[in-house]
């Protein structure tokens, strides 16, 4: 039996509290006095956050380039009795049929965009498909986490369905953290199939993000520690950004 990473992704992410994440997003909507009729989830994966948002009354569109991830999301949506629109597209070049009231990009999906031009293009597309006044919420693994905490570390996990090994390195020249992944998937009959993968995440500085957002016509409203939701410090591991497409179509200058 051929098993892909998508089929065990939820097991690997079992410590992520998508319900609390969805509640936090709803509170941000309320704080900024918006009630989006339609929400876009960029890099939606297996659809866990999208379904949590749908359970709170929102209509969702999920975009992901992995057909296996989308297949899992479709299956979960069907089991939950939800109609989740899923599009197989790269988040740096996605297309929609109309605008949305909010865009989400969570679980450090934008760290995987390592090219500055492509990240800028993503921000421009977000601005293009956002309603005036619509919000763009996204999180990033911080430069501190990617350059100081993860490099040189080895992680592993042993489950019935999959055993995985994770080795991290740091490319200082490119400001990129590399992840060498080895998976051993159980076929259910006592045998294991090995698959190797390599992922990269760029350590984007908050100042770079501010600049790209402003150039794309988006206004940065807040930057918080993604775990404490307070002002980020030098050892914050996750950063939460909230940006907006201005009502007048032009972003105000962003202050440090």
**How distant, in Å, are the alpha carbons of 71, 103, 107, 169, 222 from that of 66?**
9, 19, 16, 25, 31
pLDDT of the residue at 1:
33
pLDDT tens sequence across 7-28: 677 777 888 999 999 999 999 9
pLDDT of the residue at 11:
74
- Sequence spans of domains, the chain: 5-141+205-244, 145-202
Reported as a pLDDT band with limits 50, 70 and 90, residue 160 is: confident
- Is 145-202 assigned to CATH 2.20.25.110? yes
The CA distance from 188 to 1, in Å, is: 8
pLDDT tens sequence across 72-129: 999 999 999 999 999 999 999 999 999 999 999 999 999 999 999 999 999 999 999 9
Percent of the chain residues past pLDDT 90, beyond the cut: 79
CATH placement of domain 5-141+205-244: 3.40.50.150
Give yes or no for residue 159 having a pLDDT over 70.
yes
Residue that the structure tokens 């410090």 belong to: 233
DSSP state of 107: T
Q: In what order do the strands lie in the sheet with 130-141?
A: 85-88, 59-64, 38-42, 100-105, 130-141, 238-244, 219-225
- Mean pLDDT computed over 133-153: 97
**How distant, in Å, are the alpha carbons of 1, 106, 166 from that of 22?**
34, 11, 28
Q: Do 70 and 42 touch, CB atoms closer than 8 A?
A: no
């Amino acid at each position: 039996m051929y098993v892909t990473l998508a089929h065990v992704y939820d097991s690997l992410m079992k410590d992520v509290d998508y319900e609390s994440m969805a509640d936090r997003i709803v509170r941000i909507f309320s704080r900024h006095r918006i009630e989006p009729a339609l929400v876009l989830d960029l890099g939606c994966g297996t659809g866990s956050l999208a379904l949590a948002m749908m359970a709170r009354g929102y209509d969702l569109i999920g975009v992901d380039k992995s057909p296996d991830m989308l297949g899992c999301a479709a299956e979960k949506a069907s089991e939950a009795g939800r109609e989740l629109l899923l599009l197989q597209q790269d988040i740096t070049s996605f297309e929609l049929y109309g605008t949305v009231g909010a865009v989400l990009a969570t679980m450090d999906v934008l760290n995987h965009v390592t090219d500055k031009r492509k990240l800028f293009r993503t921000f421009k597309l977000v601005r293009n498909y956002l309603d005036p006044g619509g919000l763009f919420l996204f999180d990033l693994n911080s430069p501190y986490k990617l350059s100081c905490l993860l490099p040189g570390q080895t992680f592993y996990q042993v489950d019935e369905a999959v055993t995985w090994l994770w080795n991290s390195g740091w490319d200082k020249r490119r400001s990129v953290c590399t992840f060498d992944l080895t998976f051993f998937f159980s076929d259910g009959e006592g045998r294991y199939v090995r698959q190797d993968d390599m992922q990269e995440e760029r350590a984007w500085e908050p100042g770079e993000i501010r600049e790209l957002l402003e150039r794309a016509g988006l206004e940065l409203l807040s930057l918080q520690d993604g775990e404490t939701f307070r002002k980020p410090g030098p050892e914050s591991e996750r950063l939460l950004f909230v940006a907006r497409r201005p009502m007048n179509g032009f972003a105000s200058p962003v202050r440090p």
